Amino acid sequence: MRPLRNPVDESRSGSPLGGGETPAGERIARTLEIWSRRSSRPLTEEDAREIAANMTGLFRVLLEWKAKKRALDGDRDRNAA
């Protein structure tokens, strides 16, 4: 497995695995706990880091799309008035 986007910056708040105040080891352990149940094979800590990076990248893209949609919707509303 390779990350889709940039690796997770574990020092930043707003991570889907917890805030910046949560130690990285705890976030990795939580990722393993959640995703191991859904995997057909045992996951490593590196797998957990990659999962976290991919999920963070996914949510960043979704937030970018949402912001672009809001901007477009706002432009349409202004043009309609």
Residue 15 forms part of a structural domain: no
Q: What is the DSSP letter of 81?
A: -
Q: Which of residues 29 and 12 earns the better pLDDT score?
A: 29
pLDDT one-digit tens code per residue, 26-57: 999 999 999 999 999 999 999 999 999 999 99
- pTM of the model as a whole: 0.62
Residue 64 forms part of a structural domain: yes
Residue 11 forms part of a structural domain: no
Residue 46 forms part of a structural domain: yes
Q: Which of residues 58 and 3 earns the better pLDDT score?
A: 58
Q: Which residues lie below 8 Å from residue 14, measured CB to CB, with a gap of 6+?
A: 20
42-56-12 Cα angle (round to 5): 110
The predicted pLDDT at position 20 comes to 57
Residue 36 structural domain: 24-80
The predicted pLDDT at position 3 comes to 47
Q: Where are the alpha helices (DSSP H) in the chain?
A: 24-36, 45-80
Spatial distance between the Cα atoms of 36 and 12, rounded to a whole number of angstroms: 25
Residue 54 forms part of a structural domain: yes
Q: Which of residues 52 and 13 earns the better pLDDT score?
A: 52
Residue 3 forms part of a structural domain: no
Residue 35 forms part of a structural domain: yes
